[in-house]
Structure 1
Amino acid sequence: MSDKLAVIAVFGMMVLAIWVVVIPHHWRGDRKGLLTDEVIERRMFGGGGIARGIVRSTVGMTFAASMILFTAAVGIVVESLLHGKWLDIARLMIVGALCISALMFVLLPILITLFNRPRFLIPPRFRGQAGIMNRRT
């Protein structure tokens, strides 16, 4: 169990670093230097709607990755604490939560790229932009 928790802890620290260092600057739009959002947008796919969508979906992807790691950590702890019928029920719930989190990791960037929704996961300065499917003329 300790080896599994160590791996989860390492990935958890990486996600925590993203939440503490990257996400606040991305949310406020005050990142300076070589890797501003505009530079990243131009480098990915040569710019355009897909690149803008990926830059806008950073918060959503980080949220979903956090949920995957949290669910995996809970699963490892539950494996060591429960036995019998309760362990089977807990495993089923954890697998369901992992599937939902993984689906969020895939679907959130697609929804944000196509429709610029859900608004609460999009940094305020990107909320006025249109998604690929709802281009404003």
Structure 2
Amino acid sequence: MCAHQQALVRRVGLACRRLGRPFVLEILPYPLPGEPDPPLGALERAVAAFAQPEFGVDLYKLPYPGGRFQAYRSLPAPWVLLSGRLGFADFMRALEASLEGGAVGFLAGRAFWLEAVRRYPDMAAMERELERAQERFLLARGLLGVTGL
């Protein structure tokens, strides 16, 4: 892991503590120029690099690790699932597995609203998809045992 990335995360953690704000860290490995995808094991290495209390992370926002939750179990704070590029059906499967793997919830966007954005400029279709997005959100929230609005 790059020292400058760790230094930045440390500074943000300190600033959040000083200002009394929660620190949510999203870890997303990315390919370097010329690489088609992040190298195998990049996610696990990135999570391990930021799994120290010294960073001051209050909540980790992480991608679905394909059922390999070992690296996530060493985190000093809770973690939630992000939707990343998952469609809704895949996101729901990943959310179920993640909750069983130790996630405390989700912070997701595209899995819910992407279809609405794709309907632009048809505002009526967008509105229908946004209603569907709300239904999807409630379904996902239901996996957490939360009901109602």
- TM-score of the aligned structures, taking structure 2 as reference length: 0.30
Q: Which has the higher contact order (CA 8 A, sep 6+)?
A: 1
**Which protein has the bigger helix share?**
1
- TM-score of the aligned structures, taking structure 1 as reference length: 0.32
**Which protein has the bigger strand share?**
2
